[in-house]
Structure 1
Amino acid sequence: MLAVDSLVYVIASVVDVQRVVLIDRFLADSDAVPIRDLQANDVRYLISGLVESVAFAATAVMFLIWLFQARANAEILSPWPHRHAKPWLIFGWVVPIVNFVFPKQIVDDIWTSSKPGAVEESAHFTTARRSGLVWAWWLAWLVTGLLATVGRRTYANAEEMPAIRNAAVFDIVGNVLSIATAALAIAIVMTITRFQEDRREAAAWGWMHAA
């Protein structure tokens, strides 16, 4: 779903680029662009925005399902209590203030408890060495969220052609960052899953030999 979401952002960016080109042509010579072309682009822009919202919602649901499964596996793999209770796997994303901190801490704890030897080296989640990949993903997520908020306000206040053009450019920048964030999230999902699979296989191998 993260890959699908990224593809949707690519398509939306193409629509945004078309929008910028059409507006530039219109501003240079209003007779050079038929009104029907502008109207058609408006329709594509609205449809792409709707598809973006649906894809994002579906991706969020799938990511949360994976997060719960990874957390359940992590609790079996490590004896240390995680810093946040399971309800925060959902509420941590939406509760103001804590949503700047809790989701990263939750992923950090899952990463640490899943990585072979990480907990034993640090003796506790709070002192465990943090993953650079998780840091990169979280910073990208925060910046993308900030740009999305500003972008929505920019588009809502855009009435003249230059302002609409600027809003489309802002969308393109936001889409690029969203794709980068999704790529980092994919890397985290794959890495934590590999950690857990490796430890499961190692444990199964140990039980077989013990038997």
Structure 2
Amino acid sequence: MLGLVGAGDAMAIWADLASPSHRVGTVLNIAQGVLLLATAVVYLCWLWRVRVNAEVFDASSQSKARWLTIGGWFIPFVNFWFPRRIVLDAWDASAPQGRPSGHGPVDLWWTAWVAGLVADRLLRVESGAETRAVVDGIGLVGAVLAALVVLRLTRMQSEKAAQGPSLPTTALG
């Protein structure tokens, strides 16, 4: 009897996998994963270059080792603090002279990023479409804010590079 019930359950699962709506969902999930992976690789390459540039602008402002620019994203618990700190260090080093470098955009992005991670873990148990929409919405906000940080930090570094090297201040005697 249990064998028949098990076979019936297996057939129901197989039939569900064969449904057109499930296939579309599977294809979309795979596409989302591929895009996320490609974006992560491009972002990490960009962040590495930004970090190297920041060292040229002000090496003393970099509080974390260079390898943590990428490695910090993959170390459990460390990945909740170090990537933000690395971006803030690059942000501060890249601020054009004479202009304050408020951290608002970085803080907003990081808050959305962490909120998306936490929401994904907590709401994963709830697999309804509405729950996924909330998690995806938080992720979308984080992605838009990340793009804004990328654009602004890239612009800041371009402006800083165009200024040329800063002259050391020496006491005239």
Q: Shorter-chain TM-score category?
A: 0.7 to 0.9
The residue aligned with 2:27 is 47
Residue 74 and residue 137 in structure 1: after superposition, are their counterparts in 2 closer, same or farther (change >3 A)? same
Structure 1 residue 130: deviation in Å?
5.0
| Larger displacement relative to structure 2 (146-155 or 109-118) | 146-155
More helix by share: 1
Higher relative contact order (CA 8 A, sep 6+): 1
Query: Is 1:115 equivalent to 2:95 in the alignment?
Result: yes
Query: For 2:87 and 2:93, how far apart are their aligned partners in 1?
Result: 10
Structure 1 residue 81: deviation in Å?
4.3
Query: Is 1:192 equivalent to 2:164 in the alignment?
Result: no
Query: For 2:123 and 2:20, how far apart are their aligned partners in 1?
Result: 22
SS in 1 for 2:87: helix
The residue aligned with 1:72 is 52
The residue aligned with 1:149 is 121
- 8 Å contact 2:61–2:89 — kept in the other structure? no
Residues 2-42 of structure 1: CA distance to partner in whole angstroms, max 9, x if unpaired? Answer: xxxxxxxxxxxxxxxxxxxxxxxxxxxxxxxxx99x92111
The residue aligned with 1:180 is 141
Percent of aligned positions with the same letter in both sequences? 29
- One-letter amino acid of the counterpart of residue 176, structure 1: G
The residue aligned with 2:74 is 94
Shift >4 Å, 4+ stretches: none
The residue aligned with 1:85 is 65
- 8 Å contact 1:108–1:130 — kept in the other structure? no
Query: For 1:39 and 1:131, how far apart are their aligned partners in 2?
Result: 48
Query: For 1:130 and 1:108, how far apart are their aligned partners in 2?
Result: 10
Structure 1 residue 153: deviation in Å?
3.4
- 8 Å contact 1:100–1:142 — kept in the other structure? yes
The residue aligned with 2:112 is 140
Residue 151 and residue 48 in structure 1: after superposition, are their counterparts in 2 closer, same or farther (change >3 A)? farther
Residue 135 and residue 150 in structure 1: after superposition, are their counterparts in 2 closer, same or farther (change >3 A)? same
Q: Which runs of no fewer than 5 residues in structure 2 stay unpaired?
A: 1-14, 168-173
Residues 38-78 of structure 1: CA distance to partner in whole angstroms, max 9, x if unpaired? Answer: 92111111111111111111110000000000011111111
Structure 1 residue 145: deviation in Å?
0.6
- 8 Å contact 1:93–1:103 — kept in the other structure? yes
Residues 141-166 of structure 1: CA distance to partner in whole angstroms, max 9, x if unpaired? Answer: 001011222343333xxxxxxxxxxx
Q: Which runs of no fewer than 5 residues in structure 1 stay unpaired?
A: 1-34, 122-128, 156-166, 207-211
